[in-house]
Amino acid sequence: MSQKLETKAIRTQMERSQYMEHSTPLHLTSSFVFEDAEEMRAAFAEEKERNIYSRFTNPNTSELVEKVADMEGAEDGVSFATGMGAVFGTFAALLDSGDHIVSARAVFGSTHTLFTKFLPKWNIETTYFDVEAIETIEDLIQPNTKIIYAESPTNPGVAILDLAFLGQVAKKHNLILVIDNCFATPYLQQPIKFGADIVIHSATKLIDGQGRVLGGVTVGRKDLIREIYLFARNTGSALSPFNAWVLSKSMETLAVRVDRHCQTALTIATFLESHPKVNWVKYPFLKSHPQYALAKKQMSQGGTIIAFEVKGGLTAGQRFFDSIKLLSLSSNLGDSRTIVTHPASTTHSKLIEADRLAVGITDGMVRLSIGLEHYEDIQNDLTQALDKI
Ligand SMILES: *Cc1c(COP(=O)(O)O)cnc(C)c1O
């Protein structure tokens, strides 16, 4: 009998031990033992799937990966110590010196640093496309292009990229489409359905959802995952069993948490849109979002991130931040606690101003990561802070 995704995220479980525990125990062990020489030989020859050493696999990391891969509709997956471990591991495993990436300009700050500072060391260059000019990406493809890379919704401007279009272009030119699906979660959007070959998650965000641990997962096509797995297993950015155990338990509540996040986010976005001190609000499931129809096509709900601009520029923005009482001023996102971020002075401060503006980050822009508090308390704090500007 086939199971719904929410059920699988709860019921997928590694083999029970002789103690018949109900919840998966924490397997804090660096290595695993063998009965005899033959069993050990077969394990190293990969004739039988089996845990050898926790840098390679561990029951806790395998359980997490299986849950994320199931929800994404992926063949296989690999876990990493962090989301950036997953991003870097994917590029390092799939690209050779001289290869080329076509990427959306609006990507996570550290991914941007990877493109501009580190990948060029290995002669890997990146060409960017603007989200508004996505139809021009075929013009950017070179004979050495290997990967198309994008996030949707984007950070922090919550623009939506047409995943089916990216999938078609990748297929036509025989390229690997890699999507960072962190903002949508595997519950709201499954890029593989639209043609993605690889999907990356920073599990640190909504998969944990409670701001406790770091983690990353890459899932996708079996042949590509094999390469990424070999890179991961030999280079050491392994996810700790403890973090994997936390994250696998978190997967059990992902659907109910994200349902509430999205419900509150839509309420707060609607409230902000009608507030006289707010210039504009962007949230994928607001009818005023320029790509509302596309968001509805690819996502089942609008997600947890809202971008908006307060009237009065930098000074008003700073006064707004200084007046926040309940909500957290932090750079993280996807937490049970609502977080207010000022991208221009924090997460995206490394970008030059022209690059910031190109991805829609103005001085007065605020990013809200809506948490699980009662929506009235979130709204009250925003109201009193907006009143002060
Ligand atoms: C946070 C984040 C990452 C990096 O994840 P870490 O777990 O912090 O390393 C990558 N992509 C996106 C979209 C993110 O929000």
Angle of helix 375-387 versus helix 241-273 axis, rounded to 10: 60
Q: Is the pLDDT of residue 354 over 80?
A: no
**Interior angle at CA 60, CA 93 and CA 229, nearest 5:** 10
Q: Is the pLDDT of residue 350 over 80?
A: no
User: Is 251:206 a contact under the CB 8 Å cutoff?
Assistant: no
Looking at the chain, which residues constitute the CATH 3.40.640.10 domain(s)? 5-251
Q: Report which protein residue has its CA nearest ligand 1's atom 8.
A: 83
| pLDDT tens-digit series, residues 224-248 | 999 999 999 999 999 999 999 999 9
For the ranges 151-155, 347-351, 357-361, the one whose mean pLDDT is highest: 151-155
pTM of the model: 0.95
Q: Is the pLDDT of residue 299 over 80?
A: yes
**Which ligand 1 atom minimizes the distance to the CA of 204?**
7
Task: Kindly indicate the confidence band of residue 76, based on its pLDDT and cuts at 50, 70 and 90.
Answer: very high
Encoded tokens for 99: 């290869």
Encoded tokens for 121: 């060391």
Task: Kindly indicate the confidence band of residue 344, based on its pLDDT and cuts at 50, 70 and 90.
Answer: confident
Per DSSP, the three-state class of 232 is helix
Pocket test for ligand 1, best of 88, 105, 108, 335 (most atoms within 8 A of CB): 108
Dist. CA 108 → ligand 1 center (Å): 7
Q: Give 94-115 as a DSSP string.
A: H--TT-EEEEES---HHHHHII
Dist. CA 153 → ligand 1 center (Å): 13
Pocket test for ligand 1, best of 80, 82, 84, 217 (most atoms within 8 A of CB): 84
Q: Identify the pLDDT of residue 161.
A: 97
Looking at the chain, which residues constitute the CATH 3.90.1150.10 domain(s)? 254-386
E strands present in the chain: 76-80, 100-104, 125-129, 145-151, 176-180, 198-202, 216-220, 278-282, 305-310, 328-329, 339-341, 365-369
Dist. CA 333 → ligand 1 center (Å): 9
Q: What is the CATH number of domain 254-386?
A: 3.90.1150.10
Q: Report which protein residue has its CA nearest ligand 1's atom 7.
A: 83
82 CB near ligand 1 (under 6 Å): yes
Q: Identify the pLDDT of residue 317.
A: 86
* Sheet of strand 176-180, all strands in order from the earlier edge strand to the far edge: 76-80, 216-220, 198-202, 176-180, 145-151, 100-104, 125-129
Dist. CA 389 → ligand 1 center (Å): 32
What is the mean predicted confidence (pLDDT) over 135-147? 97
What is the mean predicted confidence (pLDDT) over 315-344? 92
Dist. CA 218 → ligand 1 center (Å): 12
88 CB near ligand 1 (under 6 Å): no
Q: Between 12 and 346, whose confidence is greater?
A: 12
The closest alpha carbon to 200, from 91, 332, 101, 305, belongs to: 91
Q: Report which protein residue has its CA nearest ligand 1's atom 6.
A: 83
What is the mean predicted confidence (pLDDT) over 357-366? 82
247 CB near ligand 1 (under 6 Å): no
Does 186 sit behind a cis peptide bond, omega within 30 degrees of 0 on the bond before it?
A: no
In CATH, which of 2.60.40.790, 3.40.640.10, 3.90.1300.10, 3.30.830.10 is domain 5-251?
3.40.640.10
Encoded tokens for 258: 């994200």
Round to whole Å and give the CA distance between 269 and 271.
5
Dist. CA 43 → ligand 1 center (Å): 33
Dist. CA 211 → ligand 1 center (Å): 13
What average pLDDT does the structure give for the chain? Answer: 95
Pocket test for ligand 1, best of 152, 204, 339 (most atoms within 8 A of CB): 204
Q: Between 8 and 120, whose confidence is greater?
A: 120
Q: In percent, how much of the chain has pLDDT > 70?
A: 100
Q: Is the pLDDT of residue 66 over 90?
A: yes
**Which ligand 1 atom minimizes the distance to the CA of 216?**
7
81 Cβ contact partners less than 8 Å away, ≥ 6 residues apart: 214, 215, 216, 237, 238, 239, 240, 243
343 CB near ligand 1 (under 6 Å): no
Q: Is the pLDDT of residue 364 over 90?
A: no
**Which DSSP letter does residue 53 get?**
B
- What is the Cα 138 distance to its own chain's centre? 25
Of 2-16, 110-124, 270-284, 290-304, the one with minimum mean pLDDT is: 2-16
Angle of helix 83-94 versus helix 222-235 axis, rounded to 10: 110
Round to whole Å and give the CA distance between 115 and 216.
19
Dist. CA 107 → ligand 1 center (Å): 10
92 Cβ contact partners less than 8 Å away, ≥ 6 residues apart: 231, 235
Q: Is the pLDDT of residue 155 over 90?
A: no
Pocket test for ligand 1, best of 198, 202, 212, 237 (most atoms within 8 A of CB): 202
User: Is 307:365 a contact under the CB 8 Å cutoff?
Assistant: yes
Q: What sign does the dihedral 10-11-16-21 (CA atoms) show?
A: positive
What is the mean predicted confidence (pLDDT) over 150-160? 93
Dist. CA 24 → ligand 1 center (Å): 26
Q: Identify the pLDDT of residue 336.
A: 97
Q: Identify the pLDDT of residue 49.
A: 86
- 249 class by beta-carbon count within 10 Å (0-12 exposed, 13-18 middle, 19+ buried): middle
What is the mean predicted confidence (pLDDT) over 203-217? 97
Q: Identify the pLDDT of residue 168.
A: 98
80 CB near ligand 1 (under 6 Å): no
The 10 Å Cβ neighbour count of residue 347 is 20
Q: Identify the pLDDT of residue 265.
A: 98
Strands 145-151 and 125-129, by their bridges, are unpaired
Q: Identify the pLDDT of residue 347.
A: 73
202 CB near ligand 1 (under 6 Å): yes
Q: In percent, how much of the chain has pLDDT > 90?
A: 85
